Structure 1
């Protein structure tokens, strides 16, 4: 009996346990994973902060941590939670808000209580969840340097006083780009984009290799999954056709739906 070929599925998560989890998941779905990390975390430089937990009151720099004098504290990622916890941040009297269950789980694992997780795991979902209580509230947003303006602008439009702490930068690893070459050669069956920045970095890696147009063509012959509407818009603005956007902004759902969408191509 002839063995059916396995789907080659690229994904772009950071090179940490998230990549390990994705490999395990895709293999369980019968696919051959192609990990190509497009994001690496660079914690922000230490800076003096006298209004945050961990500050010594001296001239010595302390880790960048979210403010503690807010009514609401918003964490948007597992990475941000881990960095805040390592820096010794405490939420004080603030209600702690998480975008997405993975962020909420990371908060609980670090010993924090979670007061709010919006039904829609997105910046706009959190704005909607806080809209009725935002007027006059002090809201601390702690996240990466590539956080969406939808969150901060939306909260400010609702009447909140918003302070943002950049906990880390997201950069493209020098080694990124294997997936762009595979796409350009028509050797990918699916690609899973988990943020707008993964799209941007994929295209930049393809540019560096001189294969951008061919890589976009290759993606358009494959199944492309985007984890949410902002990621879909970024991809489509760059000429990449998006086939799958799961209802929940969840990697497991993204992978399962994309593999299911791509699998029938082998029956033709």
Structure 2
């Protein structure tokens, strides 16, 4: 197999990593799968509320597998992949913000949630901004932690490759993947080298949140797709990183 277009991808090793690697291979790149996230469900479920906000397809999958239903709640999903997963679970999605992040969701619901109960169901690493701003809008907000995100101990191959200048591209799909990459590099004593090595790679981030996290740590981000969609991210990055390998 050609080793051109080496592209690091950090999705959880729960089927999504394999699917991402298959997509990169189909696009003409050489995938470097390096899972930076390990999902640990908590067993918690959101309470009955007027509005339920789901922030990621992982949370949708956990709730669907547990047999949870939104009932009469207004179901709100951040991003098209979350909304698609919810619809695949048989639920009606009522609200999806135009901007696929916490700020977009607050803007979407502001003016509608004064005096309403809002249940936010997400990972343990969600920003406090969403909760605080919904409360400022007059909502009675509860947070349910559906799962925790941990970095697998054996991850970090991509950091070593970056430090050696052996990556053509990387795909960051959340702030946690950025932090996991940097943590894995630091554990190996090569953080500065890994960040420097990304300067010659095409760096893609699925949304402005992870892009900003990367920039805060000295990583230049080349591509943020208009929609927070992994397939779109991968396609745009590979088109720039290894255009001659696409058919």
Q: Does the aligned pair in 2 maintain the 1:176–1:205 contact within 8 Å?
A: yes
Find 1:257's aligned residue among 229, 233, 236.
236
- Aligned Cα root-mean-square deviation (Å): 1.8
Tell me the residue number matched to 2:35. Answer: 37
TM-score, normalization by structure 1: 0.86
* Partner Cα separation in structure 2 for residue 172 and residue 227 of structure 1: 19
Q: 1:215-263 deviations in whole A, cap 9, x for unaligned? A: 0111112111111112111111111111111111111111111112223
1:94-133 aligned at under 5 Å gives the runs 94-133=73-112
Indicate conservation of the 8 Å contact 1:66/1:84, yes or no: no
CA distance in 2, matches of 1:87, 1:17: 19
- Rg larger in 1 or in 2? 1
Structure 1 residues without counterparts, runs of 5 or longer:
45-62
With 104-113 and 251-260 compared, the bigger mean Cα shift is at: 104-113
**Aligned equivalent of 1:201:** 180
Flag the structure with more relative contact order, 1 or 2, with Cα contacts below 8 A and sequence separation at least 6: 2
Tell me the alpha carbon deviations over residues 112-157 of structure 1, each in whole angstroms, 9 at most, x when there is no partner.
2211122222111111111120211111000100112232122112
| Contact 2:2/2:30, CA 8 A, preserved across alignment | no
**TM-score, structure 2 as length reference:** 0.94
Match of 2:13 among 12, 15, 20: 15
1:92 aligned to 2:92? no
Q: Structure 1: which 4+ aligned runs deviate by more than 3 Å?
A: none
Question: Which ranges of structure 2 fall in alignment gaps of 5 or more residues?
Answer: none
SS at match of 1:210: coil
Worse-matched range after superposition: 219-228 or 31-40: 219-228
Query: How many corresponding residue pairs?
Result: 245
